[in-house]
Structure 1
């Protein structure tokens, strides 16, 4: 699924002027400033051309840019043709696409700069065209997608953003999205009428997938014609936030990517799609200092928790004692953003030392956000759903890990607890990592893992009655774990490599 736009390829003659200039510039490794120096054109003019804002450049400007890019006769002709198309009204489409921006986040990005930089570069360059960000509910998948989309939009990509019905949003939609209806139609087209599952297919969590990639799409399942006309060969990003991979139709996506060579697709989901070419991006909670390490206000989880504390208790000053309490709570809750936000909300009814005591004795009680009951329900249902979707062998392993002595474990411990071979244990650990049930660490100089405290707390105290979308979790298994019917309890499918 790694298909980029080649400035010298067959699509050059029909590419937009800005796409051509940017493609040639990136191909030879020039920044906008370096191209400006070589061509004697201002950086602003080059930026406007690449973004499609300058629709009627002078012939001399194009000649200077072509000289700076060292283009041959064929590539120069393509630039001139793109300018002529713009003069005949082609620029109106690009002005329309320029307004296609991602939603505005309501909170700053904390501790995810490295992940956002990697995702943005992979998608911008075309090295990856299909990326799925997975992680436990509330870990920050949407916030990372917002930052990635914003970076691509700044680079000139129109962003088509679709939030799945029922997904929890933490952003403000654009005031005027000219392609909102087309984005909605595209998302509906990719879902298809019903998931088409081959017998025996399974995701990393043992559930079926709608990715019937062995069956070609029927001829009448064409992408929305209006979307194809609007995007053409322009670079663009489609974000499906809160996607349900089991409902997505891979043949339709394949056709869409073939028809739109500049399109990239970014999914946020609880589980992988498990289709060819999928780049799986595992999102762990924020880093938090260990209790035996000095408390650091700049640790991502501590910064996040301090920010939420300021919203409810601005009188709490992060002195040495309070900072130690904040760092301890951040580590105890594994740096999980939604759990930290819920814990901070309790400071309206208690002080920081009391909050620390509750986290130590009964953390499950703090996972309901006092100011927003939906957040607590969202977290509980998300964790229950993740546990229910695990294969039976992985659920049993989680139960044993929750009752084993100590928080950290390694592969040797998994082999000892299960009696299985090392490859089987490695696959089980990977399944738990993909589900976000455990997080990795190297605090002891070796690769270790630990079950998230959120998972431990909610697994030990399941809610009465079935959670949303997990009706089969009514009974309990090992260590209070939800039980569900597993079509192949012993199989743990290995998804596409991250």
Structure 2
């Protein structure tokens, strides 16, 4: 019970929950069919008959609805029972209580007669544009229809998330490509027009917005990105680099925003170049000054991608071939030495910005003839720097414009002289932050400095954890609120939760102060300990039924995971750093972060300090992962052999078995592979993993044994191992393993002519890949369904699916086409027989998204497909 008015009843596995509404006895068979369809897709059915009922029925289904994600209504002939003192039946009440934003799938059984009130309800549902309405005849076709509709719904939500959620490296989500400005941009119309002219001309490969911190480069880049989407039909991508301090993380960060996963299967630069290809795309790189030495990488990228353009923000020039420098100006202020009128102030962008931000701090504040001169003086003293103006405007809650101007006049010159080694506008910005911080209490200043150890964004829970024992720790919420009021900390929503952040220049300032006061090491360790504990809590959920949610949760923390690894290595806690990396092995693999962890492990070894055998094994294993796929060699085999030995010496049998399986997989890449050695090593690894109970690793290790069977021509052996991998994944309810094993087994079944079994498996792996945001798996599933369509002679459908899959491969840099491209041969055979319809399907497919592809990939979709290109 929650104590909020009704009981909260959660399904045990916390998967996507599908509420099923219908009369019970009349539609018992249909309810069972719907339940089967839901469970087929690894979703959780929420059904009245499945749970104990210690509460009144209405309270119970209210609770079920509150905990559900999708509503399914099945209607036959009966309206259902109307309880005493009620005006509607439970059937109609359930529909009425379903939240407006909840997806609703409605299925009406064909019937000769129907209760009048049910007819009225169905008519109302038909008029509801939030509900999908379909007829069915029997339970058999209902199961397939529901499974197909749910799969398509998941695909649509996946596509929407790629387009409409915030997508930053801080959140590492493949969502909206450019953040939405949280306040109005003022006074940049002319600059936006100039930037558009530079981007539209096609002559400049890199346009660099250059200026000091606080001048508004990032904001201008965001506005320019939004304003010029029409110039870049193949996409605009925003890549924040404020939390990227190591040069080696530039390419992985760009890759992830583009949707390219680093699994080690190919060089990351090659995959990015393939993903961009000949696309006319704009890639915005924000805060490049931190990794300025990596600027030549951009030359290599735009050479390989001739139609891509890079818009870069930086405090310093990149100094590379193809760069067009655009100096970002300060906002205009009223001229000095001339009496300022209200009209002068209103014409000044700086004064308008001050007024807008002051009104946010003190509702009702207006620019007037009485305060215009003071506002103008404030803006002049701050050199028209937008961030400095915002910090000053936040003080209007306590001080009048006259008081602010007077205090700035006394304080800024003194503060500026203390930082004479900086350029003038850098001095002004730093002095303004100094002044703003000087108005805080001691506890507020201490918190601001301590927050400098966080990466781009952080949660209140994290702040409270690192604040234990600090002067502000007991008043964390109140102190944080004061920093928000002072415009030094920003609050925002990300991934459905409240997070906080510091602007890059404020974070830099805070960390410098923390270093100067000697507290940086302690705070770095507090930060690292919190995130080390976090990953240890979340890691077990990466293997099993909660995998999808755990991957999403860690995805929001990637910048702080990077920072924690950096802190552990920097403070010489090398064994903890190794444990941190190994604990998240499943996450690095699923989400494609091997470049990141390999970089940290390389830095760990470069320290030359004593480490435990296990840490040495971990630090050796990760950099060799890419070599296992890209450059298989005796050196990689020997290195992985060392990792096996060191893991064994440390007593970690499980990790030793995983390294042994990786070593065997490396041997499989050799032209002169010895099957006996590979089979022996994989068999030993699997036996150990099975004995130790690590079903996740055991399932993955069975897959290369199945691939070995194909290589040596022993198909029964291959199928046996793929079956075992699937069986283990099913028992654990592990989506990632099920996709990996299932795509391998489906491919083999297709080659064996078992097309019905292959089709069912490809559909399942496709659906699971969508839930996991696993683009590689979804692509293999689409190609599998293309192969199925081709052997059935469905020319248009096969062509369309082939084109969609090819587009995804091109735009996300997926390699290994030869390994899984089972669709190419049957598609070419069909093209020879029906070239016109294959070509028509391919033409239509090139304009489709993933949701459209899912719609035509479903088993029963062909009944509604035209022979030629459809008109939708």
Q: What TM-score do you get using the length of structure 1 for normalisation?
A: 0.45
Higher relative contact order (CA 8 A, sep 6+): 1
Q: Which has the larger radius of gyration?
A: 2
